[in-house]
């Protein structure tokens, strides 16, 4: 790096420091990031605390239920609350749009309810104040504001000719400006870096935090390069500003909204009711346990009788109805899983399509990266739902087994119950937060790949633009 | 000196004006009659622009008064402007419009609603803009051509007063000569012309009278003298001295 | 008037202005198309669901509509379908329709364990917000105004035309005319696609006119702001930067800050509380003396007090009674929950008094009936249906009348709520005042542009005498 390059970078900083507009805009953005971080951390802690409290209260209540028939407990059910990922404060992702409370009961699959976006006024759709929102949406604008004059301004004033006449190459000038503005981009990421470091230290998500920072650095440098390329190509500073804002508009506001609309139109998701009806129909097609002539359940009965070596249901050491309940639960749960897998696959196809189109917008790549690493993307939610479903299945089967084994098969009385101490044997829901690096490694690599492609492409363009600058300014 | 006795179309009476503590006009009085060309000669800061601004109604004088065809521009700027045409130092037009379209638009802005087409071509004839250039976008026009368009606009508006701001600066010799012819055309139409300039030679070439403006005060007025008009060398000597005395 | 036309033509002949307007028109048209396609998709989904539901219902009727059918089973297994079709204006302002359920099935069990179910949505697609006409109006149209107005005055000054323009007698109305011409062009670029969409969806004239009025006022606000900035700044670059700063604050920063403040100040956790509480009450009933349940139930349903008492372990009348008691017991929580949502709406409207972006959003989505209030109205219509089905079954269950195939023919129908688009007057007045105030202020300021001309034209230094070379 030549002395001239460093000197040009230093001059650019001096100019920024002396420009009141740049200073005010920079300080405002900094304040905004700090406010976003603080409020987001606070909100995160409040939500986390509330969900943890609800979760422990509800399991307490479950364990404190009186002596009952196990099937009553199957429908008393359990509430499960989704814990927030430790880095969710940084990027809340889809958390406000997915419900966070699921009611689990036998042979029904309820939805996750009380999503914040459904309980808020429409103003929420303007965006949520998180560090990720500031870095994704507003930071590029600051970079544009500070950098649009960098080369077009020199050209407009005629100082570019002056510098070239003194034997400084356009490449030196451009690298100087790049160093100056890349440093500004770094300064923007710094508060977020601090917050992420502090918050991730206690949660052991340092690798994710590091990758998030890396992703945002790449994203902001993409914008720095974009600003400099246009500033070098356009003869007037104002035109550079307008062109950059137009680019920002398209890549940050328009494409992220327009693409999902296209994708949603091309790939329909079945509604809950359709799925419920379809599952009901499939279930009936397999067999009806109430029908004494049903082939499926007759086979099941034969198999059970053979397993216990008896010839009549009356002679079974267990309650046959309990076994039928277990078999029914197994069948429904299979269907739930099959339909959920289908719905997830459809959603994944939609999102993959957005990501592919996302080549056109670095925002889509960094947003995906940020959500995935923060543990707030849709896959993470789907994983939560599938953990919830498998827990639902195991807890319902636990109770069904109690029914089969502890409720007398003959003459159980009018109101058979089992001891309340049994409830304690049902394990509580233990959510295992998935590690994004393990389950979404490919997607993370893909996002980084897209950002790297943008970086490389823009770097080439900047080199070409520098050459052109040298040609036309002479 | 028929203009001295004729009714003044353009008149300034004891104009005084200051920007803050800086006095820019100090008891300036002048009269320009119909068909007369008056050159207001002075250096930077002499007060030429302020004088024009007062006639245009852009600036309200500290004291004294101005009149355009008897109208005071400080109280009735629109009426005064209706009587005058102004040609700024560097004539800028709408680059994406042709000469013809520019005049049409500005005429329209100036309040001419009908019969615009019938006056534009004669005006362009008068200023000598070749027919082939009239339909071209003015983006590629030279300063001289732009000035022709602006003066054609003034002629098309058919107003009695023409205010010119440094009309010859930046013109090449041929364009300057053409410009002088243009002013003759204006004179023939009986237009009272006031041109603010620092160019002694061009003032001497066309003006009927030259007023020497120094630090906001009209030092001296010289009138043209028959066919020889002005003794340029004498004027030049006088104003070199004046300039030295000023800078001393 | 013809001078106004000349300004229109002049604006359209500027390449950047024409490009911006065309782009805006194109995006508005795309947005209208996309909104209509979403409305169509939702209508199609409703039809699919209705077909699936009809099959399901027929199957239930076959099994439980026996001559000696028990109404308890009929009620337990019969779902009632509700749906909420997009209003004719929903295409223009989709609002929350992409995240709120628009079909829901309920049965005679406790309402509050059924009412808050959510729909299968792809949350990642919903995250950036819908691409509809309201988005184009609120976010993109101000940028078109910015392109057209940021250099209104400074552009003339930088091009050197300003003094010539101002020297003309008609200059007084110049800025107003130019503002008007550009304002109308932007409005037309937005309104044309909307009007086409309105004709396609056959929306009521009042709703269409209302949304055009909102757009006109919102654009007037931005035009006023644009002219004010244009009249104040020295350079066109400064004008662009200042207006862009205003845009960022009004569309990105202020609304997100306000949302964050409102949602922290007014939590909506009562939804969770009421669900938990209702479950406790309903399930505790199994272990309580039946009289307790019936005593509570008869408070609001005295007409069934004298029906035969329940003696055995189970009876459907007892079952449905304790579900209803569960609903009634959580009424205070429900009220609080609803109140918290209403408070969020109210504060959003108040924020809108200060932020025209927010008031425009409130106004458009209230007109299109796609806001939270609309969804709450849908929930109310579900609650009304739930009440009707309870009262439909109670005579059968309490009087132990058989429920037959003929009774399945007489099930209560769902009455979809009437399309409830309305004008939010408070927001409209606030938006109108903001627009008027800015227009008046900016026009006054623009009038003074001509008076502030004198010394700005400082010239580069030049000698007193320029002696041409040819002498």
Chains C and A physically touch (3 or more Cβ atom pairs below 8 Å): yes
Question: In angstroms, what separates the C-alpha of B213 from chain C's closest C-alpha?
Answer: 12
Residue C308, pLDDT score: 87
Segment among A2-6, A113-117, A147-151, C262-266 with least mean pLDDT:
A2-6
Domain boundary (B101, B130, B159) is at B159
Q: Does the structure show a pLDDT above 90 at B113?
A: no
Residue C244, pLDDT score: 87
| Cβ–Cβ gap C345/A377 under 8 Å | no
- The answer to whether the predicted template modeling score (pTM) of the entire model surpasses 0.80 is yes
Specify the higher pLDDT residue, B206 or A362: A362
Q: Does the structure show a pLDDT above 70 at B4?
A: no
Segment among A116-125, B171-180, B193-202, C443-452 with least mean pLDDT:
C443-452
Residue B2, pLDDT score: 40
Residues B33, B100, single domain; the answer is no
Residue B115, pLDDT score: 66
Q: Cβ contacts (< 8 Å) between C361 and chain A: which residues?
A: 122-123, 126
What mean pLDDT comes out for the span A272-297? 89
> Which one of A101, A258, A377 has the shortest CB-CB distance to C124?
A377
Residues B132, B70, single domain; the answer is no
Give the residue ranges of chain C where pLDDT is below 70.
1, 450-471
Residues B119, B70, single domain; the answer is no
Give the pLDDT confidence of A410-468 residue by residue, as tens digits: 888 888 899 999 999 999 999 999 999 998 999 999 999 999 999 999 999 999 999 99
pLDDT grade for B146, boundaries at 50, 70 and 90: confident
Residue A222, pLDDT score: 97
Q: Cβ contacts (< 8 Å) between C252 and chain A: which residues?
A: 126-127, 137-138
Residue A434, pLDDT score: 92
Residues B112, B1, single domain; the answer is no
Structural domain includes residue B88: no
* Number of Cβ pairs < 8 A linking chain B and chain C: 112
* Whether B239 contacts chain C with CB within 8 A: yes
Domain boundary (B109, B125, B159) is at B159
Residue C238, pLDDT score: 83
Residues B121, B236, single domain; the answer is no
Question: In angstroms, what separates the C-alpha of B31 from chain C's closest C-alpha?
Answer: 20
> Which one of A273, A284, A343 has the shortest CB-CB distance to C53?
A273
Structural domain includes residue B107: yes
CATH assignment of the domain containing B18: 3.40.50.300
What mean pLDDT comes out for the span B172-201? 87
Residue C241, pLDDT score: 83
Structure token digits, residue C87: 């209003």
Give the pLDDT confidence of B187-237 residue by residue, as tens digits: 888 999 999 998 888 888 888 999 988 888 888 888 877 656 777 777 777
Q: Does the structure show a pLDDT above 70 at B73?
A: yes
Residues B165, B242, single domain; the answer is yes
Contacting partners of chain B (3+ CB pairs under 8 A): C
| Cβ–Cβ gap C120/A275 under 8 Å | yes
What mean pLDDT comes out for the span B73-84? 88
> Which one of A111, A122, A273 has the shortest CB-CB distance to C118?
A111
Residue C251, pLDDT score: 93
Asked if B160 and B192 count as a contact pair (C-beta separation under 8 A), the reply is yes
Give the pLDDT confidence of A422-437 residue by residue, as tens digits: 999 999 999 999 999 9
* Whether B146 contacts chain C with CB within 8 A: no
Residue A355, pLDDT score: 87
In this predicted complex, what is the ipTM? 0.91
Q: Does the structure show a pLDDT above 50 at A80?
A: yes
Residues B215, B247, single domain; the answer is yes
> Which one of C168, C454, C464 has the shortest CB-CB distance to B198?
C464
| 3-state helix/strand/coil string of chain C | CHHHHHHHHHHHHCHHHHHHHHHHHHHHHHHHHHHHHHHHHHHHHHHHHHHHHHHHHHHHHHHHCCCCCEHHHHHHHCCEEEECCCCCCCCCCCCCCCCCCCEEEECCCCHHHCCCCCCCCCHHHHCCCCCCHHHHHHHHHHHHHHHHHCCCCHHHHHHCCHHHHHHCHHHHHHHHHHHHHHHHHHHHHHHHHHHHHHHHHCCCHHHHHHHHHHHHHHHHHHHHHHHHHHHHCCCHHHHHHHHHHHHHHHHHHHHHHHHHHHHHHCCCCHHHHHHHHHHHHHHHHHHCCHHHHHHHHHHHCHHHCCCCCCCCCCCHHHHHHHHHHHHHHCHHHHHHHHHHHHHHHHHHHHHHHHCHHHHHHHHHHHHHCCCHHHHHHHHHHHHHHHHHHHHHHHHHHHCCCECCHHHHCCCCCCCCCCCCCCCCHHHHHHHHHHHHHHHHHHHHHHHCCHHHCHHHCCCCCCCCCCCCCCC
Strands (E) across chain B are located at 8-19, 22-33, 37-41, 63-68, 84-87, 161-165, 192-197, 209-214, 217-223
> Which one of B88, B97, B239 has the shortest CB-CB distance to C164?
B88
Q: Cβ contacts (< 8 Å) between C105 and chain A: which residues?
A: 273, 276
Q: Cβ contacts (< 8 Å) between C454 and chain B: which residues?
A: 19, 49-50, 53, 58-59
Structural domain includes residue B140: yes
Residue C463, pLDDT score: 30
* Whether C163 contacts chain B with CB within 8 A: yes
Question: In angstroms, what separates the C-alpha of A308 from chain C's closest C-alpha?
Answer: 32
Domain boundary (B114, B140, B159) is at B159
pLDDT grade for A474, boundaries at 50, 70 and 90: low
**What residues make up the domain containing B14?**
1-83+160-248
Residues B190, B177, single domain; the answer is yes
Total number of domains constituting chain B: 2
Question: Which of 76-135 (B) contact C at CB < 8 A?
Answer: 77-79, 81-82, 84-97, 105-106, 108-111, 113
> Which one of A120, A275, A414 has the shortest CB-CB distance to C344?
A120
What mean pLDDT comes out for the span A258-285? 90
Among all residues of chain A, which has the CA nearest to that of C239? A238
Burial of C313 (0-12, 13-18, 19+ CB in 10 A): exposed
Segment among A155-164, A215-224, C348-357, C419-428 with least mean pLDDT:
A155-164
Contacting partners of chain A (3+ CB pairs under 8 A): C
Q: Cβ contacts (< 8 Å) between C96 and chain A: which residues?
A: 117-118, 122
Q: Cβ contacts (< 8 Å) between C357 and chain A: which residues?
A: 126
Residues B100, B128, single domain; the answer is yes
pLDDT grade for A402, boundaries at 50, 70 and 90: very high
Residues B134, B164, single domain; the answer is no
Contacting partners of chain C (3+ CB pairs under 8 A): A, B
Q: Cβ contacts (< 8 Å) between B56 and chain C: which residues?
A: 163, 166-167
| Cβ–Cβ gap A113/C348 under 8 Å | no
Q: Cβ contacts (< 8 Å) between C154 and chain B: which residues?
A: none
Rounded Cα gap, residues A362 and A136, in angstroms = 10
What mean pLDDT comes out for the span A111-129? 91
């Amino acid at each position: 790096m030549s002395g001239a390059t460093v000197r040009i970078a230093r001059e650019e900083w001096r100019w920024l420091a002396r420009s009141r507009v740049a200073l005010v805009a920079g300080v405002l953005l900094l304040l905004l990031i700090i406010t976003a971080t603080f409020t987001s951390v606070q909100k995160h802690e409040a939500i986390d605390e509330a969900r943890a409290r609800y979760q422990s209260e509800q399991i307490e209540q479950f364990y404190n239920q009186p002596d009952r028939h196990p099937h009553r407990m199957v429908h008393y059910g359990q509430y499960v609350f989704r814990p927030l990922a430790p880095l969710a404060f940084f990027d809340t992702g889809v958390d406000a749009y997915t419900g966070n409370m699921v009611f689990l009961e036998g042979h029904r699959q309820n939805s996750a309810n009380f999503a914040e976006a459904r309980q808020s006024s429409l103003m929420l759709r303007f965006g949520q104040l998180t560090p990720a929102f500031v870095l994704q949406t507003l930071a590029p604008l600051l970079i544009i504001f500070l950098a649009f004059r960098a080369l077009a301004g020199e050209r407009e004033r005629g100082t570019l000719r002056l510098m070239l006449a003194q034997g400084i190459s356009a490449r030196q000038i451009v690298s100087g400006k790049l160093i100056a503005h890349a440093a500004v981009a770094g300064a923007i990421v710094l508060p977020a870096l601090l917050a992420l470091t502090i918050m991730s230290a206690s949660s052991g998500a340092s690798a994710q935090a590091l990758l998030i920072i890396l992703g945002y650095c790449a994203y902001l440098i993409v914008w720095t390069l974009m600003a400099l390329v246009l500033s070098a190509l356009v003869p007037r500073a104002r035109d550079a500003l307008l062109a950059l804002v137009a680019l920002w508009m398209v890549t940050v506001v328009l494409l992220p909204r327009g693409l999902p609309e296209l994708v949603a139109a091309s790939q329909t998701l079945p509604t809950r009711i359709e799925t419920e009806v379809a599952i009901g129909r499939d279930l009936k097609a397999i067999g009806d346990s109430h029908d004494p002539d049903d082939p499926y359940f007759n086979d099941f009965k034969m198999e059970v009788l053979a397993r216990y070596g008896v010839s009549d249901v009356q002679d079974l050491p267990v309650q046959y109805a309990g076994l039928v309940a277990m078999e029914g639960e197994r069948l429904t749960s299979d269907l739930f899983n099959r339909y959920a897998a289908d719905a997830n696959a459809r959603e994944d196809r939609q999102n993959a399509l957005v990501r592919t189109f996302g080549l056109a917008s670095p925002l889509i790549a960094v947003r995906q990266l940020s959500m995935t690493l923060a543990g707030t993307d849709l896959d993470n939610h789907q994983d939560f739902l599938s953990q919830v479903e498998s827990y639902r299945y195991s807890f319902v089967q636990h109770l069904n087994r109690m029914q089969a084994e502890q409720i007398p098969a003959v003459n159980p009385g009018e109101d058979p119950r089992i001891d309340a101490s049994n409830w304690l044997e049902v394990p509580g829901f233990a959510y295992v937060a998935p590690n994004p690096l393990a389950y979404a490694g490919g997607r993370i690599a893909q996002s980084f790949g897209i950002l790297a492609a943008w970086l490389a492409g823009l770097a080439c363009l900047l080199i070409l633009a520098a050459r052109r600058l040298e040609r036309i300014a002479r | 000196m028929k203009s001295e006795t004729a009714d003044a179309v353009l008149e300034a009476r004891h104009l005084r004006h200051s920007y803050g503590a800086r006095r820019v006009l100090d008891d300036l009085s002048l009269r320009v009659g119909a068909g007369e060309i008056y050159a207001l000669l002075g250096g930077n800061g002499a007060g030429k622009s302020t004088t024009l601004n007062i006639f245009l109604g852009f600036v309200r004088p500290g004291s004294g008064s101005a009149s355009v065809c008897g109208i005071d521009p400080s109280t009735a700027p629109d009426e005064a402007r209706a009587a005058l045409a102004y040609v700024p130092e560097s004539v800028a037009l709408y680059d994406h419009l042709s000469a013809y379209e520019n005049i049409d638009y500005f005429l329209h802005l100036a309040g001419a609603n009908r019969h615009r087409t019938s006056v534009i071509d004669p005006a362009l004839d008068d200023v000598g803009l070749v027919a082939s250039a009239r339909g071209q976008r003015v983006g590629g026009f030279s300063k001289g051509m732009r000035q022709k368009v602006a003066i054609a606009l003034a002629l098309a508006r058919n107003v009695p007063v023409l205010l010119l701001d440094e009309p010859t600066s930046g013109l090449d010799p041929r364009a300057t000569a053409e410009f002088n012819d243009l002013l003759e055309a204006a004179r023939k139409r009986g237009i009272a012309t006031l041109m603010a300039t620092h160019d002694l030679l061009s003032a001497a070439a066309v003006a009927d009278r030259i007023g020497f403006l120094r630090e906001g005060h009209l030092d001296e007025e010289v009138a043209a003298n028959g066919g020889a008009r002005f003794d340029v060398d004498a004027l030049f000597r006088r104003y070199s001295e004046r300039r030295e005395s000023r800078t001393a | 008037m013809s001078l106004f036309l000349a300004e229109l033509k002049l604006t359209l002949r500027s390449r950047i202005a024409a490009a911006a307007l065309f782009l805006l028109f194109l995006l508005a048209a795309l947005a209208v198309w996309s909104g209509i396609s979403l409305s169509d998709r939702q209508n199609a989904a409703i039809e699919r669901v209705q077909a699936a539901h009809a099959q399901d219902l027929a199957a239930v009727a076959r099994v439980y509509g026996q001559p000696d059918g028990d109404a308890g089973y009929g009620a337990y297994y019969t779902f009632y379908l509700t749906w909420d079709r997009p209003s004719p204006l929903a295409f223009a302002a989709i609002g929350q329709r992409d995240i709120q359920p628009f079909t829901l099935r309920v049965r005679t069990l406790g309402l509050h364990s059924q009412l808050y179910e959510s729909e299968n949505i792809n949350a990642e697609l919903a995250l950036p917000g819908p691409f509809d006409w309201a988005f184009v109006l609120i976010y993109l149209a101000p940028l078109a105004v910015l392109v057209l107005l940021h250099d209104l005055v400074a552009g003339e000054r930088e091009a050197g035309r300003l003094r010539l323009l101002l020297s003309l007698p008609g200059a007084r109305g110049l800025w107003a005319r130019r503002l008007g011409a550009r304002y109308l062009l932007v409005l037309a670029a937005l309104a044309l696609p909307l009007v086409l969409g309105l004709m396609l969806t056959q929306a009521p004239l009042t709703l269409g006119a209302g949304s055009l009025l909102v757009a006109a006022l919102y654009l007037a606000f931005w035009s006023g702001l644009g002219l004010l900035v244009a009249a104040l700044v020295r350079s066109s670059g400064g004008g662009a930067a200042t207006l862009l700063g205003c845009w960022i604050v009004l569309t990105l920063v202020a609304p997100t800050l306000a949302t964050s403040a409102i949602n922290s100040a007014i939590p909506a956790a009562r939804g969770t509380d009421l669900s938990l509480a209702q479950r406790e009450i309903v399930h505790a009933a199994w272990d309580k003396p039946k009289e307790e349940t019936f005593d509570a139930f008869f408070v609001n349903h005295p007409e069934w007090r004298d029906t035969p008492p329940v003696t055995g372990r189970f009876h459907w009348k007892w079952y449905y009674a304790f579900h209803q008691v569960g609903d009634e017991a959580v009424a205070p929580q429900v009220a609080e929950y609803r109140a918290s949502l209403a408070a969020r709406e109210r504060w959003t409207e108040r924020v809108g008094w200060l932020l025209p972006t927010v008031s425009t959003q409130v106004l458009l989505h209230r007109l299109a009936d796609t806001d939270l209030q609309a969804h709450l109205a849908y929930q109310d219509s579900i609650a009304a249906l739930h009440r009707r089905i309870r009262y439909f079954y109670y005579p059968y269950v309490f009087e132990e009348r058989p429920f037959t195939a003929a009774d399945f023919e007489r099930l209560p129908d769902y009455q979809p709520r009437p399309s409830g688009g309305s004008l939010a007057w408070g927001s409209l007045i606030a938006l109108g005042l903001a627009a008027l105030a800015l227009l008046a202020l900016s026009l006054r300021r623009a009038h003074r542009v001509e008076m502030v001309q004198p010394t700005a034209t400082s010239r580069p230094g030049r000698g007193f005498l320029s002696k041409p070379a040819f002498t």
